[in-house]
Amino acid sequence: MTSESLPSSPHWLATPSGHPRARGIGLPLPGTPGPFNAITDVAGVAVGYSTLIRGDGPLVVGEGPVRTGVTAILPRGHDGLHIPCAAGFYALNGNGEMTGTIWIEESGELDMPVTITNTHSCGIARDASVRWLYPRLQGLTDSWGLPVAAETFDGDLNDINGFHVTTEHVFEALDGARSGPLEQGSVGGGTGMICYDFKGGSGTASRMVRTAGGDYTVGVFVQSNFGLRHQCTILGAPVGKHITEDLLRGKPAGSIIVIVATDAPLGGHQAKKLARRVPLGMARTGAIGHDSSGDIFLAFSTANAQAFATPPGRTRRIEQLANADLNPLYEGVIEATEEAIIDSMVANQTMTGRDGNRSIALPHDRLLEVMKRYGST
């Protein structure tokens, strides 16, 4: 399926607040997105944010400046909290955290919401998720859970040791999770993040694919906080080698969390195979997987809801694609990961945080000049 086979959606071009996306400034990205070009194109998936921005000037631990937040992803929305999904995870480099993955590896299932925040708030995001879930699942489960909470480090812009993310902020993100078009850039857990030494953060994209006679959607959400400026590559053009001023981080630090969703019928081991394709999309943007980076990925399938809702003691009947039919899904993961990372920078603005630290937005005019020079537009 090609981009020419469907009319362009306005959501491909700009975020709900009007920030231009990569396609909106003319980048010829491959593949056909869903209507929102977001992880929420996978029916039932809901995303919510809590964004904390306050204070300026010198760092005063416990007071600010604050540049952080929480992102929440509900795989089956609010109405499907009690129904697991087939799932798998993969870590390219493990200098980071994603809770709950030991059970996902064991069971091949994801049965909790996913939250993403800063490194020092990962624990409270996990614990708050349990507190949020308990009254909503009474009578449906054994009242226990191992939620997924993931993190990247925002301490270059944020008072990360001030512990400003609270239980209430996690609840806000979970309560506010919705389908539809998504804001991107400096929102939610991505608020204080930096990507290739440009302002990074939250990004999302999707692809519509056909395989085994069926049409499916692959959606990706990233929290991008990785890479050195000179490594930044967009559609083959060495953008970072031509925009060299205003470096803030200048060192191989940071991480990326990537969540992949699909409505294609998969088993847990096949979801893991999708997660293992994420690094190929990262590599298209210049990533090498620095040793100090936590590059951790989770993939899940929303198919087979009736089977996963079947209680123990009964036989489950699960549909599943053949492994040989997964190639279009792999391509969708790679393309959507690449676009989500690019959008996390393009749909963003310059941010000044603690101690006057300034992370510049990727300048659209300079980007397009470089792309034109290399014949990439």
Residues 261 and 75: beta-carbon distance below 8 Å: yes
Residues 347 and 335: beta-carbon distance below 8 Å: no
- Per-residue pLDDT tens digits for 98-112: 999 999 999 999 999
- Work out the pLDDT band at 4, boundaries 50, 70, 90: very low
Strands 255-262 and 294-301: parallel
Pairwise CA distance, residues 279 & 218, whole Å: 16
Q: Give the Cβ contact number of residue 76 at 10 Å.
A: 23
Range 270-280 average pLDDT: 98
Prediction pTM value: 0.96
Pairwise CA distance, residues 95 & 254, whole Å: 9
Can you name the residues that pair with 178 across neighbouring β-strands? 47
Q: What is the pLDDT of residue 312?
A: 84
In one letter, which amino acid is 122?
C
Burial of 18 (0-12, 13-18, 19+ CB in 10 A): exposed
Q: What CATH code is assigned to 3-44+75-111+184-373?
A: 3.60.70.12
Range 45-58 average pLDDT: 98
Q: What is the pLDDT of residue 141?
A: 54
Pairwise CA distance, residues 270 & 169, whole Å: 34
Pairwise CA distance, residues 199 & 207, whole Å: 25
Pairwise CA distance, residues 360 & 117, whole Å: 21
Residue of 359, 331, 333 lying closest to 345 (CA atoms): 359
Residues 228 and 288: beta-carbon distance below 8 Å: no
Burial of 20 (0-12, 13-18, 19+ CB in 10 A): middle
CA of 234: how far to CAs of 4, 318, 346, 374, 377, in Å? 21, 40, 11, 10, 10
Residues 124 and 69: beta-carbon distance below 8 Å: no
Range 170-176 average pLDDT: 98
Residues 323 and 274: beta-carbon distance below 8 Å: no
Calculate what percentage of the chain has a pLDDT beyond 70.
97
Known active-site residue 255: yes
Pairwise CA distance, residues 338 & 360, whole Å: 20
For the chain, what is the mean pLDDT?
Answer: 95
Strands 214-225 and 201-211: antiparallel
Which member of 50, 129, 293, 301 is catalytic? 293
Known active-site residue 293: yes
Residues 181 and 38: beta-carbon distance below 8 Å: yes
Q: What is the pLDDT of residue 251?
A: 83
Strands 114-118 and 66-74: antiparallel
- Per-residue pLDDT tens digits for 5-22: 455 789 999 999 999 999
Q: What is the pLDDT of residue 6?
A: 52
Q: What is the pLDDT of residue 253?
A: 84
Q: What is the pLDDT of residue 297?
A: 98
Q: What is the pLDDT of residue 262?
A: 98
Residues 299 and 261: beta-carbon distance below 8 Å: yes
- Work out the pLDDT band at 39, boundaries 50, 70, 90: very high
Q: What is the pLDDT of residue 143?
A: 65
**Domain residue spans of the chain:** 3-44+75-111+184-373
Alpha helix stretches (DSSP H) within the chain:
101-107, 122-137, 167-175, 268-275, 278-284, 305-309, 327-346, 364-373
Residues 303 and 190: beta-carbon distance below 8 Å: no
Range 297-307 average pLDDT: 96
Q: Which long-range contacts (CB under 8 A, 24 or more apart) does 127-136 make?
A: 127/167, 128/167, 128/170, 128/171, 129/170, 129/174, 131/167, 132/170, 132/171, 132/174, 132/175, 133/81, 136/81
- Per-residue pLDDT tens digits for 214-270: 999 999 999 999 999 999 999 999 999 999 999 999 888 889 999 999 999 999 999
Which member of 129, 186, 206, 255 is catalytic? 255
Range 190-204 average pLDDT: 98
Which member of 154, 159, 295, 343 is catalytic? 295
Known active-site residue 5: no
